[in-house]
């Protein structure tokens, strides 16, 4: 796992812990989530969290920007107004919501009928009205507090969900990486029994993959092609030592040209020579290799993305692993 992903994993775990234990303010949590989005190169996440920290953008007419409205809605900030039945969003930031809650808590604590003095024949009615007025005001303030606590709960849930999704994504990626690492080690060891310089070729793939430029990735794709060719050449030499003809007949009766750069044909012949493999297995494997070879050639001659070269390398390993597991090393 690269350094940025490791930092993102640790930060996501910290965010989850801080929220669960309520050890940090939501303003601080939002900032940490923004840092997490940056580590993950998550542009959508960064846009959302910048709104959560700096406020939701408004147009010149004072209305919420359409993009900002859409992002806020996607993250739980929308609601339907009971009066006009239209959809709105609440734009208060965590710090502002906390301020509303605190100020209303003070108001409700200061509300009392103690010290009030009424006299005359309507004293009981006046006191009743005063008490009722205090109760109504208190109920309204309680509703404001409850509503704003609900808003904080929504934001807390959104920040938690964001950190949790990234934590699970990285965790799954790490598990897959560990599994692939074990598989790769097995294939590497077996390849060394077939190709003497396999370690050099494999090192070249990893070195070029670690470089941040498309030319290096294209070279890594070309090294994958050379790896297939070396496997084909070495297997053919072991199964058909000193064979000097251009064509060779396979079980189907078809004559196959095995000269020059036709390494896939040489690999086909080698697989055809293994009794335990069915024709269907051989056909599927060769079809797979041809498709992979097309991707490799496309990667060598055109711009290639990091994800594409990753896929090529993974498929190369799985395909070679499948071939090696079927071959009896002579």
Same-domain check for residues 165 and 18:
yes
Say if residue 300's pLDDT is above 80. no
Q: HSE (CB half, 13 Å, CA atoms) of 234?
A: 21
Average pLDDT, the chain: 81
Residues 144 and 202 in one domain: no
**One domain for residues 108 and 9:** yes
State pLDDT tens for residues 184-227: 777 777 777 777 665 566 666 766 666 667 788 788 888 888 88
- Judge whether 114 lies within some domain: yes
Domain that holds residue 150: 3-55+91-172
- The pLDDT of residue 118 is 43
Q: Are residues 146 and 224 in the same domain?
A: no
Looking at residue 58, what is its pLDDT? 87
pLDDT at 276 > cutoff 70: yes
Does residue 48 belong to any structural domain of this protein?
A: yes
| 148 and 229 co-located in one domain | no
User: Same structural domain for residues 237 and 276?
Assistant: yes
Q: What is the pLDDT of residue 7?
A: 92
Number of neighbours of residue 312 by Cβ within 10 angstroms: 23
**Same domain? 112 vs 201:** no
CA 97 centroid distance within chain:
31
Instruction: Return the higher-pLDDT residue of 14 and 195.
Output: 14
Residues 112 and 221 in one domain: no
Which of the listed residues 172, 204, 233 is the one where a domain comes to its end? Answer: 172
The pLDDT of residue 8 is 92
- pLDDT at residue 198, rounded to an integer: 59
> Positive or negative, the Cα torsion across 115, 116, 120, 125?
negative
What predicted TM-score, i.e. pTM, was given to this entire model?
A: 0.57
**pLDDT attached to residue 119:** 47
Q: Which is more confident, 198 or 266?
A: 266
**99 within domain boundaries:** yes
| pLDDT at site 131 | 54
- Please check the confidence at residue 262 and state whether its pLDDT lies above 50: yes
Same domain, 134 and 261: no
User: Nearest-CA neighbor of 290 among 322, 267, 271?
Assistant: 267
Instruction: Report how far residue 205's alpha carbon sits from residue 285's, in angstroms, rounded to the nearest whole number.
Output: 23
C-alpha span between 232 and 265 (Å, rounded): 9
Any domain includes 81: no
Which distant-in-sequence residues (6+ apart) come within 8 Å of 43 by Cβ? none
**Residue 268 near residue 250, CB atoms below 8 Å:** yes
The count of structural domains within the chain is 2
Residue 105 maps to a domain: yes
| 246 contacts 265 by C-beta, under 8 angstroms | no
Rounded CA-CA distance 151/93 in Å is 10
Would you state the structure tokens that stand for residue 234, as one six-digit string? Answer: 């070495």
Distance, CA of 226 to CA of 208 (rounded, Å): 15
Q: Are residues 151 and 270 in the same domain?
A: no
Query: How does strand 247-249 pair with strand 78-80?
Result: unpaired
pLDDT tens digits for 284-295? 888 888 888 888
- The answer to the question of residue 162 being in a domain is yes
Tens digits of residue pLDDT in 118-170 = 444 545 544 445 455 555 566 788 888 899 999 999 999 999 999 999 998 88
Residue 302 confidence (pLDDT):
64
Query: Do 222 and 130 fall within a single domain?
Result: no
Residue at 131 is within a domain: yes
pLDDT tens column, 26-57: 999 999 999 999 999 899 999 999 999 999 98
| Model confidence band, residue 267 (pLDDT cutoffs 50, 70, 90) | confident
Domain-located, residue 64: no
Rounded CA gap, 218 and 152, in Å?
49
Same domain? 160 vs 295: no
């Amino acid at each position: 796992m690269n350094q940025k992903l490791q930092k993102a994993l640790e930060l996501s775990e910290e965010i989850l812990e801080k929220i669960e234990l309520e050890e940090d303010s939501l303003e601080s949590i939002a900032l940490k989530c923004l840092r997490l989005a940056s580590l993950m190169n998550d542009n959508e996440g960064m846009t959302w969290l910048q709104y959560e920290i700096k406020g939701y953008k408004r147009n010149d007419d004072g209305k919420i920007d359409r993009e900002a409205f859409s992002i806020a809605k996607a993250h739980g900030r929308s609601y339907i107004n009971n009066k006009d039945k239209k959809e709105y969003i609440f734009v208060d930031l965590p710090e502002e919501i906390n301020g509303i809650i605190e100020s209303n808590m003070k108001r409700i604590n200061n509300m009392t009928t103690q010290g009030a003095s009424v006299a005359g024949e309507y004293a009981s009615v006046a006191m009743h009205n005063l008490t009722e007025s205090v109760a109504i005001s208190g109920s309204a303030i309680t509703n404001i507090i409850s509503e704003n606590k609900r808003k904080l709960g929504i934001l807390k849930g959104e920040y938690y969900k964001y950190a949790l999704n990234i934590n699970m994504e990285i965790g799954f990626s790490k598990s897959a990486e560990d599994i692939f690492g074990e598989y790769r080690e097995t294939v590497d060891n077996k390849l060394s029994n077939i190709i003497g310089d396999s370690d050099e070729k494999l090192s070249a793939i990893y070195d070029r993959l670690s470089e941040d430029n498309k030319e290096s990735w294209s070279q890594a794709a070309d090294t994958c092609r050379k790896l297939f060719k070396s496997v084909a050449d070495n297997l053919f030499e072991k199964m058909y030592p000193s064979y000097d003809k251009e064509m060779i007949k396979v079980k189907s009766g078809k004559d196959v040209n095995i000269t020059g750069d036709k390494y896939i044909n040489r690999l086909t012949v080698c697989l055809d020579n293994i009794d335990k493999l069915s024709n269907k297995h051989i056909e599927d494997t060769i079809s797979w290799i041809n498709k992979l070879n097309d991707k490799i050639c496309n990667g060598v001659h055109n711009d290639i993305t990091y994800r594409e070269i990753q896929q090529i390398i993974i498929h190369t390993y799985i395909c070679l692993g499948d071939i090696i597991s079927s071959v009896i090393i002579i």
